[in-house]
Chains A and B, each alone.
Chain A
Amino acid sequence: MQIGLRAKFVLSLLATTLVWFAVLAVGAWSASRAGEGVLRESEDSLRAQGRAALAERGEQLAALLADTLTNPVYYTDLLSVREAARSTLNQPDVDYVLVYDGQGRVLHDGSRDIPRFGQVMDDPLAPAAIAAHAPLLQWSSERLDASAPIAIGDLRLGGVRVGLSLARTEGVIALESARTRERFRQAFAGPAHVLGLGFLLLALWLVLAGWMVARGLVRPIRELAGNARAIERGRFEAPLESGRKDELGELIRAFARMSDSVRRHHHDIRKLAYHDSLTGLPNRLMFRELLDEAIGEYRGSDTGLALLFIDLDDFKRINDTLGHDAGDEVLIEFAGRFKRALALLDAPAQPVLARLGGDEFVALVSGGNGRTHGERAAISVLEQLKQPFVVGNHSLLVGASIGITVFPDDAHTSKLLLKHGDLAMYQAKQRGKSRYHFFAGHLTQAAAERLDLEHDLREALESGRLDLAYQPIHDLASGQLVGTEALLRWRHPRRGNVPPSIFVPIAESSGLIDALGDWVIERACADCRRWQSALPGMSVAVNLSGRQLQRNDLAERISACLERQQLPAGLLHLELTESSLLHDEQLAFAALGQLRQTGVRVWLDDFGTGFSGLSHLRRARVDGVKIDRSFITDILSDPEDLALASAIIAMAHSLGMQVIAEGVESEAQFALLRDRGCDLAQGFWMSEAIGPDELVQRPRRVLSRSVAALP
């Protein structure tokens, strides 16, 4: 059992009182004992005095009687004897007077008829009295027997005995004791009253102290405890206040300050946990809670909720090209515009905004017709984006794709609602961006598949289920194996091999492309480094996506990778498509320049398929071009393709670039390209893509028998 402070205090007061009472009781007891002792001593003293006085008196009385009685006894004058005896007997404490002769026979006892006359006294005190020749005092429990002989000269006539009662003395003692006791009592009565009053005051004080402690100490402490419990449960109630000047007041104020501090920290932490630090908007966590609440609230009602799932179009590019700070500025600005857009809405309830992460935002518009309100909100947001974002010296137009789902029409749970919102947003993006799209059930399949693939790709990358295959590249003139092109292979557990044409766009759109690209380069470099012992000078080519090129730290990352893998920069070839240069040419060419400075070789992939190939070629300053396979396929049969290929070869050579042909599937193609001066070739005829370890076991050289046959 826990004993409360008040109980302890009251108990301690009680204990103090008891101790005090005990001390007083012991004091009173010892005083009373001392008093009893004094009384006893006083009684003893009184008794001794009384006895001494009685003895003296008895002695005198006996002597006087003996003297008085001498002559009457001598003459046996019984009348006179009686008179003397009577006068003595009349005294209040005289029990008896016995006059006796020399033989101890009673001569007179003061009575009229002397019934004992002539009888020898036989009481216990008699013999000594009879035998005595001098006055004698004998004490019994009840009286003093004073005797004196009666004699004339040496003539012994007899004696007289006087019995003096002790009762009178004892009575006097009792009376005196009673008086003394009364005096004691009176002497003690005053202090006893004072003590009684003291105890009464103490009892009152006890009650008062208990009340004061309860009021002044226990109650504030209990309030503090209650407040602390409320804070523990996360409820920051009105802080305690106290004007008290004492330690408790200080404690309460300190507690209030601490409570305030905890409240602020709690608020901050909560904000950190529930808010997006960049935009100040609620984060995914909070939004999920709010969404759950709203769903719970609106479940069963005829009004709906509309969820807007917003994704900024091409935001990745802003981050990659202008840096994250610029991206952050865009996000902050967008959040502001987003708020304004929704604030302008005439919605029954204030819409909830949140940033789910990256460039994904959501809004929850509640009340009324969900579909109508959602649409209005989407329009309003898109309206806000018509003004360009100014970031530094750049003025950017940022679009957004908005998916709208409606509760309870499209989904019944918050999770599903968010997913459908995401899908609808994806649909909007598919439809051409900067638009909104309502979630429609029939769209779900493709979009869901895409989402699944994205999810699976992420997982594959993280769990190492991706592989690189290498297609050998041979020198056309010597047939010597000089390099390889790294090709990404994804063996999906259910879908089997997924071609890069499917998953690369997904990686690009989901942002996975960065991690994927890094992984490929790292892996390719590592493999190439291993080959060097068996195949010195063996190069490896890696395809770069346009997104990767937009990263302003690309060159640094590649340098770091080369250093890590200890691979000479010249052995790493990067292949870029023409289209990847088209997003932001200036940026792309700058990136190319940086790459070339690191020493890696840069090739243009799929050369000939773009529209502005030549101008790019002039400005890009690449190491070589790869003739697109579409030219090679029909090179033997189509003179135009041959002419184009030959022209590309000639043009590249004239610019100091090398040329590689891909998709060489026959010996004839190989021979023709060799004859036309093409430098390198890859294709099924030489080898399909193989694993890294398999490569070193391959023949180092291919020989075309038909070469000689050609003119």
Chain B
Amino acid sequence: MHELGNTIRRDRFVQITCGYVVLWTFAVFNWLWFRVLPDWLLWIIFLPAIPLVVIWVSKEFPHSLKQFQWNIRSATTASVAFLPAWQLAVFISDQLSLYAVGAYAARIGTGAAFMIGLAWVVWGMEQASQHYDLLRLRKRRSDAHLSLELNSDEDDASGERIWNPLDTRAWYYGRKGRKLNQSVTGLMSYSFVFCMAFLIFSKISGCQELYEMPAGGGEQKPIAQKVKVQKVIKKKFIVNPFSAILFQVPPIDEVKLQLTEITKHAYTVGYGEGTGAGFAGGTKRGKVRFIRLEYTGGDWDQDFGVGADLNMLIEYNVRTQQQVADRTESRTVAQLNNFPKGKSPPVVYLTGQKNISLSKGEVKILKEYLLEKHGMLFGDNGGSRHFHNQFLAMMNRVLPQVRPVAIPLDDTIHRIPYQIPFLPYVAPHGGKEALGWKVDGRWVAYYHPGDIGDAWTDDHSGISPEIWEACYQLGTNVIFYGHTEYSKWLEAQKKK
């Protein structure tokens, strides 16, 4: 009776687990590509993985490790349990903005997944080859052969060509070192399949994603200083002119003007005729997001996350009063393809100090993003002359018929909303001039040569307040420019 109860409970637990796996898989796909579900819901879905994994593992693995012996069930449990554990580590790091930890977790997890898969491949091949050997032996016994030994010459002499790669007697493994040849082939094939799967998953375009600007309006004007005049009226004494006491009468209405100079937005920072700071083409739930572009070959994640990008995003919110996202994000170049025309990010940020390696496909996507989707690239040299050359070379591939020019100091991008009559930089890695690529009267790429991202960090790299303040202003200008141009374009599209 007790056993029956256990069986029923176990069956129910298996059913619960199966149901959860389906839900978990859906949530993972959403987390990686769709991004439809809100973060809080993802937390709710992912967190139950912890007790489930613990229960399954504790069931299969006894408390005393001395008693423990690997078997197919325990190995399967351990392998399957690894996946949610890995995913959870990356998810939590991502949610807590521990991007470096998340990146390490992702890399280590990929390595571990490869090793686990390899172990299963080795085990599977061994099982299969033993199985085929046994079949052969049985067949031979039934054919009343005297010799029990497996003679390779005999096998070959049988005239049958074996094609099955799981069988060590397959003809292409040769006559000598068949086992070794099979192992090498298995390893190579597995590595190839794993690499291909990794590439596909990491470059996969996924489903559609939306970028919506905050709704509202405003003017594309420089921030003006407003002088507030405050009247301070001195205390007056009421004196009886007929009094017997002689008073020295003070001037009747001595008014002191106190001029308080304050910097205040004399208008709403935005573009269009809506109310509140925002953009005409925006939506109520729309927010200004800071999206960093991931690329291969270099350190795209330099100062990524809480330290710098988020500071800039918060400053943008403080300075423009526009709605901004809670967190900064990153997308691969391929993922830019997921954004539809009219709902794609107006600006993406790219930094680093090493190589920028883009495939032909990525170059095409970036070109389409800049020209067709009216996007803008905000490049920042994170620390070397080499990166300067890499960025220029990349742009030469993306826009071969547009040459970079030094952006004038009196250009809109340097004047609105903040007037910046100079180029602030942390270190002159790529010269002292901001470069731009202009297409049809619009900057499609702004390249800052001197590590503006370092000025946005918490410690501002130790540079003077004047410079880091100017760097925030410049960052605000570039983000604002991108969004304004996008808004203008959306309006023009509507009119068409």
A-B interaction: no
List chain B positions with a Cβ less than 8 A from chain A: none
